Chain A
């Protein structure tokens, strides 16, 4: 019970502080606004009061100092200033910190907040802040005296507020006087555990499936009564599904509410003036999506303030208002949510972008010459790109627009960019309303059904056996199809998944042949399947832990007939089939061929050391795990080194041996190992030390005398050989991997 009260107090106080932060920033625009002031004062007062009741002296002392300062402000005894705003905002941060600790540990922590309190007192001026009487006069053992404790002065001027405050915090049980006010609030809203909503959502998913089965069944019988009932069931289920979906919806304002503060702090740090406007705060989105877009949105907003909007002087000389304008607009459109982030800054200079991309080796000069303006702008979404002339503490955070794009695409969204030099830049984000139920195209290949999320779907092409001849052309074994004059690379789904032979093996293959044209990143490709069934709304269910590393699959769903069908991950499929130039995995070599320049970009690498100073790197996507084991655990199986790992025999490759350098003595106590994956094979790479994980643009020199090494690059100012695990494994010992190594256990 106690826990619940504390929990509720933490949630409410955090919400109150969110509002305080918004109001404080707003107050800077309209200093002295009595409504804002009293709203801030009230929130602070509520927190302080409840603290006293629950017995959190630190939080109470900080809240008390802030409240005293606020009461002087409210009475116009001191004037609002930027210094004052900073101090009050810092106070809300400190209070949030304490609340977070309370939530996590149940205690206030041992940090000292004396400095903040003395700053607040100093700002209160000569009048000073009276000693925190509240702490002394609000004994938790005597709750009934609490409403009257410590703040008679404020109660005099805000008699009506007291009731609302009491109703709002979690200690109302002790104050029967205010019970009525509480009831009014509780009638409208209740807090529900998200897990309960998830369970309900799952159940409704099941209900939808059962409904589909009943409808199928009903159609096959001639029973009017049953038909009518099933019709009603259908309607109710649809409404119920919509209703449950709605319970998970939250207004996007929950995310937007922190931006006034972000923009204010950042603008101040950059010496700029920025006015933030938001529109459509009530636009609702699924909770999981709200969580997922928080970071990308914050990044875009910071970017706009930092890079988009110019300094006041520049703006003045360009004839613009000194104060820049940043607009965030959210609205529903076509079953999706659109979010636009628009600034009236300098815009993005395409030529500058292109030069930077060329400098960094992100595009070849040939390719650059052929690029459209739009394609050029899209370069800013490449990993390793940053147009900031100077690296500020805002831009140099190690996350770039590529991360923003990836995160948005991960939830099935897309991001677009529009810019006009001198007039500003607009980012348009489109995201789905929910992740739980998605429209999908059902296809069949190898006798199994697969669902392809419709967001990735562009069009369908059906070729009958007569048309197929000649329509499919191959470039050194890679099939392509001319779609309206452009070459579309084709991937055979059955062959890619290893469930049946490719449709391309035999030109007279009797199977039907459909091309599903898909969009993956900025590339299109055609997925060849035997049959295209239908589109359906599917309930997405995650795969178990054991199957989560299969990149071709996004999840599973249950079809109308009760059978399970797998959901394809189009991006993963494209990477797996090397349709999309990849920055990691075994595709490093292919990526290098595709860029047809002398370099390629590998975004995330695990850097290891062998011997005393040889540095090697493995694409992070191929790394399954990092392990360390005692040297005694190394065993010999026939002529190979192996280790027992998670109940299997894991073959080892000693990279020191591979590079021809002596291993160091560091290995005598514990041997670091990189468990790497190449396709379905797993191998342990024995190294001398794990150095680092780097995420940076790496220029790859394709000089390698050894197979298994893709090339060499400078990583962290050291020459580093980049490995390709699949090639390495293949060459290291063909025979070893030919049989699944489990068989060796049986021998």
Chain B
């Protein structure tokens, strides 16, 4: 295996208009919509709990994490199950894309003009031929204040 600095393979997904990538090493699996049990009194970013083959997994809505509007009614989110230091967490996203292999040369820091939550959740950006792949900080994306 070649070790690439900020390169390698990313599992991509879309939230709103943004294309995100998580290091494939951090992704356990991706799933279609799963039934969610809401958790009263939980922070709003926690959409609820899903049953992942007997394991109870907390589902964090990336739209809410990014302060975007909720999905329109009837649009079902997909699950990206990520490994964290503790239990796995499901990130609820709009669309799941391909696994993208990137060229480390194409990596850049986030432009200083990008501010707010997006900036905090990102470690950088990969310039793809037709779009930008925002590299997600996994631990940060699953954290809930």
Interface residues of A (CB under 8 A from B): 202-203, 205-206, 209, 448, 497-499, 541, 543-547, 550, 552-553, 556, 558, 562-566, 645-648, 650, 680, 682, 740, 742-743, 745-746
Contact = CB atoms under 8 A, between A and B. Distances in A.
Contacts of A646: 143, 145
A499 B87 contact: no
A206 B54 CA distance: 6
Nearest to B115: A745
- Summarize A's interface: helix, strand, loop or mixed: mixed
Contacts of A645: 145
Query: Sorted from nearest, which 9 A-B pairs have the closest CB atoms?
Result: A497-B40, A206-B54, A564-B37, A544-B58, A746-B67, A648-B145, A546-B144, A564-B49, A646-B145
Contact of A202 (B49, B54, B121): B54
Contacts of A742: 44, 67
B86 interface: yes
Nearest to B36: A564
B145 A497 contact: no
A558 B56 CA distance: 8
Contacts of A650: 145
Most A CB atoms within 10 A — which of B41, B42, B60?
A: B41
Interface residues of B, number: 34
A230 to B, nearest CB: 20
Nearest to A544: B58
Interface in B72-113: 86-87, 89
B101 to A, nearest CB: 29
16 contacts: A209-B54, A448-B37, A543-B39, A543-B56, A543-B58, A546-B43, A546-B46, A546-B58, A546-B89, A550-B40, A550-B42, A566-B49, A647-B117, A647-B120, A647-B143, A746-B117
B67 A544 contact: no
Given A546-B58, A647-B121, 13 more contacts: A203-B54, A209-B54, A546-B89, A546-B144, A553-B40, A556-B56, A563-B51, A564-B50, A565-B37, A566-B49, A680-B41, A680-B43, A746-B67
A541 B49 CA distance: 12
B37 A498 contact: no
A547 B40 contact: no
Most B CB atoms within 10 A — which of A499, A546, A646?
A: A546
Nearest to A446: B40
A497 B54 contact: no
A169 B142 CA distance: 47
Contacts of A206: 53-54
B79 to A, nearest CB: 14
A746 B116 contact: yes
B50 A205 contact: no
A541 B56 CA distance: 7
Contacts of A562: 35, 51
A544 B82 CA distance: 14
B89 A544 contact: yes
A566 B143 contact: no
B38 interface: yes
B17 to A, nearest CB: 15
B45 to A, nearest CB: 8
Given A498-B41, A547-B58, A558-B56, A647 B49 contact: no
Contact of B87 (A205, A544, A553, A648): A544
Contact of A566 (B39, B44, B60, B140): B39
Nearest to A647: B120
A553 B145 CA distance: 18
Contacts of B67: 742-743, 745-746
Contacts of A743: 67
Contacts of B120: 647
Contacts of B35: 562-563
Contact of A558 (B39, B41, B54): B54
B50 A547 contact: no
Contact of B38 (A448, A544, A552): A448
Contacts of A550: 39-42
A499 B46 CA distance: 15
B39 A553 contact: yes
Contacts of B116: 745-746
Contacts of B57: 544
B56 A647 contact: no
B15 to A, nearest CB: 14
B120 to A, nearest CB: 5
A448 B49 CA distance: 12
A647 B136 CA distance: 14
B54 A564 contact: no
